[in-house]
Amino acid sequence: MAREKIKIKKIDNITARQVTFSKRRRGLLKKAQELAVLCDADVALIIFSATGKLFEFASSSMQEMLEKYKNHSKYNLLDQAIKQHSLDFQLVERDEVRLCEEEINNKDQELRQLRGQDLQGLTIYELENLEALLQGGLNRVLRTKDEKLGSEISSLQEKVVMMISNGKQPEAMPLDLDNLINIHEEHGQSSESVTTNNVYSCNSGPPTEDDCSDTSLKLGKLKETNV
């Protein structure tokens, strides 16, 4: 007849519970010792009875086994913390990459719209904002171009005045000056005002009547020669 399987639950009878504890404790200690001998394993077993009595077994020093367990537990906790930190970092990095990709796509879309592409889905308000943005950029380009032209004209005029004052005859310089003045006049600024301002700045004050007439005469002759 097969032995009835004992249900694993707390034994209510105190005497039966103590007898079962004593039998199974001896069997557990015996199995721990056999495991240490047969498998050359470090085994430590600690048992507290219901009354608080201590029973223990260690294949080597119990203190060394406990220290080894503590160090191993610390290592496991540290390893788990590192893994968790690495996982968090990967999640953050993934989010940053996603945000960067979205920003790149948005900037690429804005650039195509500035080039006049992909305008079908834009509203009137968005098109007006795009038009204002383009107009502002065009105005800045024209203003910068005008400033550079004025600066080059001033530099060439100063060189012409200096060469004339030194008694030298400029050859190719006036041609460049005329071209720059014509381009500058197309932007709405008179070459005569530029010439007057630059002559004033060169001499740090208004020229005398003789110097002014002499310089104007020489510039006029140079311009007629080049024409």
Block mean pLDDT (10 aa), the chain, length 227: 75 90 93 93 92 90 87 75 80 87 86 80 84 87 89 85 73 53 56 39 42 45 44
Asked, for residue 98, whether it belongs to a domain, the answer is yes
Kindly report the length of the chain: 227
In this prediction, residue 55 carries a pLDDT of 92
Co-location of 40 and 77 in the same domain: no
Query: 207 and 189, same structural domain?
Result: yes
pLDDT for position 66: 87
Task: Say if 131 falls within a structural domain.
Answer: no
Residues 157 and 216 in one domain: yes
User: In this structure, are 48 and 87 located in the same domain?
Assistant: no
Same domain membership, residue 83 and residue 56: no
Residue 71 maps to a domain: yes
Asked if residue 71 and residue 43 are part of one domain, the reply reads: no
Which of 60, 77, 98 represents a domain boundary (last residue)? Answer: 60
77 and 47 co-located in one domain: no
pLDDT, tens digit, 9 for 90 and up, residues 103-149: 898 888 888 888 888 788 788 888 888 888 888 888 888 889 888 88
In the three-class reduction of DSSP (H, G, I as helix; E, B as strand; rest coil), residue 139 is classed as: helix
Domain encompassing residue 104? 62-121
Position 214, amino acid: D
How many Cα atoms occupy the beta-carbon half-sphere of 142 within 13 Å?
12
pLDDT score for 93: 84
CATH number for position 36? 3.40.1810.10
Domain-located, residue 173: yes
- 133 within a domain of the structure (yes/no): no
Q: Where in the chain does DSSP place strands (E)?
A: 44-48, 54-58
The answer on 220 and 152 residing in a single domain is yes
Considering the domain architecture, whether residues 94 and 51 belong to the same structural domain is answered as no
Residue 5 lies in a domain: no
Same domain, yes or no: 30 and 99:
no
Q: Are residues 217 and 148 in the same domain?
A: yes
State whether 112 and 52 are in the same domain. no
Q: Which two tokens stand for residue 202?
A: 């060169």
What per-residue confidence (pLDDT) applies to 197? 42
Does residue 135 lie within any of the structural domains?
Answer: no
Report how far residue 147's alpha carbon sits from residue 227's, in angstroms, rounded to the nearest whole number: 27
Number of structural domains, the chain?
A: 3
Measured CA angle at 217 (ends 211, 222), to 5 deg: 125
Bridge partner residues of 55 (DSSP)? 47
Q: Is residue 130 part of a domain?
A: no
